[in-house]
Structure 1
Amino acid sequence: MECVFGLVGDGFALIAADTSAVHSILVHKSNEDKIMILDSHKLLGASGEAGDRVQFTEYIQKNVHLYQFRNGIPLTTAAAANFTRGELAIALRKSPYFVNILLAGYDKDIGPSLYYIDYIATLHKIEKGAFGYGSYFSLSMMDRHYHSGMSLEEAVDLADKCIMEIRSRLVVAPPNFVIKIVDKDGAREYAWRESISAA
């Protein structure tokens, strides 16, 4: 019952993801961070098979770092998205990764951006997007409440509305979520949204 969603606001991009590591009917852990900080100004939120998700996102992160190390400049968000899409396309014909990605970043001249990359190597630049079972509810909430130029407070409030909707609608809803943002000051964790446990 994975869920990753993101949106672009006024001068920032936000990604939120559930933190459950689940296999079949078992919950292995509830603090799995599914949003990787690629570099100082990029976030990569992923959903899909646990092994593919971890292996592929680490592979992308290391290659982004390698490019910066070799060339002395970081990849732009668009370049990182196209590299990621290319690697998925190559793998699709050999040994495919079942991983869906939202890649958010901030570039000095362009500003914030968000890219949708699915497991069959489809790439789109978007304003809002989601993957997983929770996407049915988060996308409808964003269709209703999202507008361009949202402030950080409005965007976090919308993310909280999406999380509440997922928790109330999904039969087996993930209890905890992590929210990360990227803006001119860099990529960082913003908050955890933990459910109230019955003691």
Structure 2
Amino acid sequence: MGDCSFGITGKDFVILASDMNAGRGIIKMKSDENKIRALGPHLAMAYGGETGDTEQFTDYVERNMRLYHIRNHNALLPPAASAWIRRQLAQSLRSRKPYAVNLLLGGFDTTTSLPHLYWIDYLGTKADIPYAAHGFGMYVALSTMDKWWFEGMPKEKGVELLRKCINEVQSRIVVQFNFNCILIDADGVHQLDLSASDPIADLSRAPEKAEVEVPNPIIAAPA
């Protein structure tokens, strides 16, 4: 079926959007698949690729991020998380069972108050860029991003740019997509409703599945 995902940074936020199709070959099996996974309080990724590989790899990444959070009482920051994820893909590429997964990793660095967006592909290539796309969308939307993106853009302009990109996909690509969208800022991960007239005004917390809470560590009783 192909995938389609977008990432846009602004003054103090990152927007991630991904299609919700799941299928095999020319058959679409469902159109409500969530392809965005929250990895921490201020970190999430949009992913695409082979269905089995994406599920296994994203579960592996999410649990290791959670383990780091539990052990260190601090979530991994976006630059460090991107380096670790890239390393895992690079190592799997040199194994007999490489992961066929492409990622857009977005996060907000609470130490510097800066947003980060990383383009990572199945070959372990990583780039820190202001806007990005994976899948079918990259063929028709990168020129739109290049024209309308500007440094320090506010959230409203970011949503407007995302809608321009989705309109390009809907009008120029045969495959029709439904999109899931989140926004990451200093307050955490938020679900964006693109069907609303003003999604920024209606920001709500992401679903419980997307929230990452640190469980209390288990302390063994003395013998």
Q: Give the TM interval when normalised to the shorter protein.
A: over 0.9
Q: Which residue does 2:150 correspond to in 1?
A: 147
Distance in 2, matches of 1:40 and 1:191, equals: 20
Deviation at 1:192, TM superposition (A): 4.8
Deviation at 1:43, TM superposition (A): 1.0
Q: Which segments of 5 or more consecutive residues in structure 2 lack a partner in the other structure? A: 197-223
User: What SS is found at the alignment partner of 2:193?
Assistant: strand
Q: 1:114 aligns with which of 117, 122, 134?
A: 117
Distance in 2, matches of 1:28 and 1:193, equals: 23
Deviation at 1:148, TM superposition (A): 1.0
Q: 1:164 aligns with which of 155, 163, 167?
A: 167
Distance in 1, matches of 2:110 and 2:40, equals: 14
Q: Please list, as runs of the form range in 1=range in 2, the aligned pairs for 1:22-101 lying within 5 A after superposition.
A: 22-94=23-95, 95-101=97-103
Q: Which segments of 5 or more consecutive residues in structure 1 lack a partner in the other structure? A: 195-199
**Higher relative contact order, chain-length normalized (CA < 8 Å, sep 6+):** 1
User: 1:17, 1:45 within 8 Å by CA — same for their partners in 2?
Assistant: yes
Amino acid at match of 2:150: H
Give me the TM-score of the superposition, normalised by structure 1: 0.93
Deviation at 1:109, TM superposition (A): 2.4
Deviation at 1:193, TM superposition (A): 5.2
Give me the TM-score of the superposition, normalised by structure 2: 0.84
Deviation at 1:173, TM superposition (A): 2.6
Q: Which residue does 1:10 correspond to in 2?
A: 11
User: 2:78, 2:108 within 8 Å by CA — same for their partners in 1?
Assistant: yes
User: 1:177, 1:193 within 8 Å by CA — same for their partners in 2?
Assistant: no
Runs of 4+ more than 6 Å apart: none
Count of residue pairs brought into register by the alignment:
193
More strand by share: 1
